[in-house]
Structure 1
Amino acid sequence: MDDDVTRYIDKGHPWQIEVCEKIRELVRQAIPDVEEKLEYGKPHFLKNDKHAAVLHVAKNKVSFMVFNAAQVEAVKGVLRPLGNGDRKAVDIAENQDVDYGLLAAVVARTSSTL
């Protein structure tokens, strides 16, 4: 685990830290050789030097975005498309139920071709 990523996550509210650590772990399980690094001020997860996902802690939410997701269906109210649909994101608020299984499946699928 990257110390800069840990420091970034640890600056959040306790609930945000918990969400980020769960996402971090699911990414590590979905991409066994994942590389973590702080880029553009945010934690990025890379496979074979290509961006697979990124975390962002904001004032009232945690955003998680996956790259290479054109073939992944958006899920209304859960997983929204960004740009031309090649990226998908989820915004997580405090006390929100999160389908971590869905996120893990999305990460596994989108990173499989990297």
Structure 2
Amino acid sequence: MTGTVERYLTELDPVDADVIGRVYAVAREVVPDVEEGLGYGMPALIYRGKPLLSVIRAKQHIGLYPFSAAVVSAVAEQVALVAGSSTSKGTIRFQPTSPLPDEVVRALVTARRVEIDGA
């Protein structure tokens, strides 16, 4: 599905679209050869045929899904420093008013890329 992420961003409130779009933009800087598609039914960036990352607006937060509990664990300490954020086994949750810093997104995307490359 070409354009899945871009199409999703057009459906969001502008503030949410900016925050979510920034995460996707940073991910594309780290892994420029991604494609847009779906991961577990969510708009996602796909790398080497596997979902790299999905970021969606949930009712109470923005959810970032790297499709890997190991990747969430790898950045959990950095995420904990962001006000209003939390993690669970496969999810990072944060508020649009307190987005994840670019360096945290870069670390997360790099860890997921390495994981996919090693698979």
> Could you say which TM-score interval applies, normalised by the shorter chain?
0.7 to 0.9
> Where in structure 2 are there 5+ consecutive unaligned residues?
none
CA shift at 1:17, angstroms? 0.4
Unaligned runs of 5+ in 1: none
- TM-score when normalising by structure 2: 0.74
Partner of 1:96: 98
Q: CA deviation at 1:69?
A: 4.6
> Taking structure 1 as reference, are residues 113 and 39 closer, same or farther at Cα in structure 2, changes over 3 Å only?
closer
Q: Distance in 1 between matches of 2:36 and 2:86?
A: 23
**Aligned pair count?**
108
Q: Percent same amino acid at aligned positions?
A: 23
The two structures have a TM-score, normalised by structure 1, of: 0.77
The match for 2:88 is 81
For residues 79 and 45 of structure 1, do their structure 2 counterparts lie closer, same or farther at Cα, with a shift above 3 Å needed?
Answer: farther
- How much has 1:41 moved relative to structure 2? 4.2
Q: CA RMSD in A?
A: 2.2
The CA deviation at 1:22 is 0.3
| Matching residue's letter, 2:95 | A
Q: Give 1 or 2: higher helix fraction.
A: 2
| Secondary structure of 2:105 counterpart | helix
CA distance in 2, matches of 1:53, 1:79: 17
